[in-house]
Each structure stands twice: as structure tokens, then as C-alpha cells.
A = this chain, B = another copy of it.
């Protein structure tokens, strides 16, 4: 097996199998939730034997990790800031629309399946330390780091007023996360207004609640 061609082909096959299994797992988890889903369910959905799954994932939790990873990749491709000429050079006016676009993006990722996989992930992350740490290291922290850089520059250029950048970022992402959790809880107002929320949130964050009356 020193043949580099064969090796490449092998990797392709392995990646394909992994993908096939993760697809199945995502569907079943979204439908039944994590604990109620059995490996048999996933194997049947993927059209493989139970044991085969263990050739690609060490255990049931690893499937969730795999799903998380894929979501992350997909997401990073989607939000590839480098498309923008220079994100750090946005003006005040552009900033508002950039902000809104970003918020809208985040609020719609999980909307696709009505937050069914989001529910499962959050639920398990709350309670499973390994998953939580992987999530933080691979997704949360890199995102935060990157955001800090931009916000720092914006603050220096007075696009934003001076403020604690790290807390600001955490507040904004927390706001989005919290709204998604509230949506999942079954809040009808959020359900009705989900489409208008990005604009609303952007205004709230940029302008605040305070009356500007004399």
C-alpha cells in the first residue's frame, strides 16, 4: 500500500463512508434526538452494518463530534470574510449592513431544519464534557479570536464607540444564541418575527434602547 494513487483513492473512499454515516446520523438525531437514537437506527439509515460504524467513529458521541465538525467546515466556507475587499476597512454605514448580514447568517444556519439538530447539539454539549471542550476549542474560540481582531480595529477607527471588545463580542454572540434557544423553547413571537429579527437586533445593538429625546 505504498502506492500514492491507491492511498488517495482509499482516503476518498473512507471520507465517503464517513460522510454517508454522518449524513444518516444527522437525519436520525434530528428526528429522534441523541439518546433515543440507537446505533442500529443509524446503521440502517446509512445502509451499513452496526459494526461498520465503529470502523469510522469510536463511539456514539464521536458521531455528534463529527456532525459538529462538518457544520463548522460548512460554516467557515460560507462566512469566508476574505471575500470582502477588506473587512476591517468598512465605514460606519457599511458596518451596519455588514453586521446585519452576519447576524442574519448566524440566525438562519440552524433554521433550515427548524433547529432540530441545534437542539440535540446544545442539549448534549451542556452535559457532555468532551463534546463541550471540542466545541469550544474548534469552534467557539477561533471564532471569538477572529472577531476580536476585527472589532478591535473598528473600535480604533471609531466605527464603534470605545468599549470592552471581548465582552461586546460575547454579548452579541450570546444574544444570537439566546434567541435561538428561546425560539426552540416555542416562543411564538420569535417564530413570527424571525425574519425581521436581524434588522431589529442590529439596531438594538448599535443604537441602544435609550430615548434620544432631549
Spell out A's residues near B (CB within 8 Å).
33-35, 92, 119-120, 122-127, 132-133, 135-136, 140, 144, 158-161, 163-164, 166-168, 170-171, 173-179, 181-182, 184-187, 189-190, 193, 196-197, 200-201, 204-213
B-chain residues with CB within 8 Å of residue A187 when the two chains form the complex: 136, 140, 144, 170
Within the assembled complex, what's the spacing in Å between the Cα atoms of A187 and B145?
12
Residue of B nearest to A137 (CB): B186
* B132→A186 contact, CB < 8 A: yes
Partner of A204 from the list B120, B168, B211 (CB cut-off 8 Å) is: B168
Given A167-B200, A170-B190, A174-B175, check contact A211 B124 (CB 8 Å).
no
CB distance from A212 to the nearest CB of B (A): 6
